[in-house]
Structures are given as structure tokens and as C-alpha cells.
Amino acid sequence: MSTSFAVSSDGWKIAYDVNGSGPPIILLHGRGQSRQDWHSAGNVERLRRDFKIIAMDIRGNGESDKSSEPTDYSIDKHCQDILAVANTCGIERFLIWGFSYGGNIGRYLAARSPRVASFIMIGVMFGLGASGDFRQWIIQSRDHWLPLLQAQTDGKLDIRSLSQQDQDLLYGENQRLHTDGIWR
């Protein structure tokens, strides 16, 4: 892994590395992690065949500059960092895959910048980031599925008691529960 640096608009050095070729995708790690975690998990190796992988260290992490000042870690500054890395790599439009803290940062840039072609967010609790009808839908989904998934884990789920829609969501529309209780 060869480290390169971009310089953000406020002068911070942001560490990143580039692997592979294809459509560019920027990987943003979780809090307290570094871009090395994407490598260690094998994600960079798997994706490099189909994408130009740009794994970056979010400011304050890995080899990127660090500060003890909370004002140095605003969403605006994080977004500027991502764009600085993209600019240094010579890419106009890109995908973002953010994990946890990186997903939270990435969602702001995806909402603000037409340069983000697609956005993937994993390992993020929506929390107060979701509001209104969408938040209510999340709560209702959680309240509906948690007991069903727990019953399935405990081996106590009676599949025949579920609606056809829930059966399809759990087991796929191409499989149906037959009267003998077997999925086909």
C-alpha cells in the first residue's frame, strides 16, 4: 500500500491510496479506524478488478493530519477533504462507500455534491439523521421485524403464521411455503 496525500482547502494533509482501474469509488472507514481496515478486510483486493479504489484516511485518523480542536472536524471540512482527494486523483464523478462514521460523512457529500454518482452506506444507525415519515417507517419496520427475527434465531418462528409478503421478504419471492411446510 503506497500512501499519497491530498491537501484540503484548509491545508490539512489527507492520506489515501489508489488501487485497480475502472469507475472510481472512494472508501470511507469508521470512527477510530483507517483505510488499512478496508485492505485488511479484503475489500480493496476484491473490488480492484472492477473499480479504481481510493481508500482514504478521514482527517484525524490513520496517516491524515490530526488536531485536538473540535472545530477542525466539521462535516464541511470532511466533505472538502473528500473532494480534495478526488481532485488530486483527477476524478470528476465518483462513487462513495462509507462504513459507520464514514457513511455518515459520505451521506452529507452525496446530498450536497453532483460529483457523487452513487452512495453506499453500511453499518450506520440512522438515529436523529432520519426524521418525519422516514423515521416513523424505520421505527415501524424495526418493531415489526425484531421479534420475528429473534423468533427465527431461537428456532421458534412459525413461518405459516407470517403474511405472504413477510414470507417473500424473508425467503424470496421465488420460493413458496407449500402445505407440507417445505419451501420450494
Question: Mean pLDDT lowest for which of 130-134, 138-142, 164-168?
Answer: 130-134
C-alpha distances in angstroms, 88 versus 4, 14, 85, 97, 136? 10, 11, 5, 19, 41
Q: What is the mean pLDDT of residues 94-113?
A: 94
What are the structural domain ranges in the chain?
4-124, 129-171
Question: Mean pLDDT lowest for which of 88-92, 120-124, 167-171?
Answer: 167-171
DSSP string, 97-161: EEETHHHHHHHHHHHH-TTEEEEEEES---GGG--HHHHHHHHHHHHHHHHHHHHHHTT---GGG
- Backbone φ and ψ for 75, nearest 5 degrees, come out as -60, -40
pLDDT exceeds cutoff 60 at 184 = no
| Class level of CATH domain 4-124 | alpha beta
Q: What is the mean pLDDT of residues 52-60?
A: 97
Q: What is the mean pLDDT of residues 63-71?
A: 89
Residue 126: predicted pLDDT: 55
Exposure pattern of 123-155 as b/e (b: 16+ CB <10 Å)?
ebeeeeeeeeeeeeeeeeeeeeeeebeeeeeee
pLDDT exceeds cutoff 90 at 146 = no
Residue 155: predicted pLDDT: 81
CA 83, CA 115: separation in Å to the nearest integer? 9
- Classify residue 56 by its DSSP letter: E
What does pTM read for this prediction?
0.69
Residue 183: predicted pLDDT: 43
60 vs 134, more confident: 60
pLDDT exceeds cutoff 60 at 178 = no
- Classify residue 173 by its DSSP letter: T
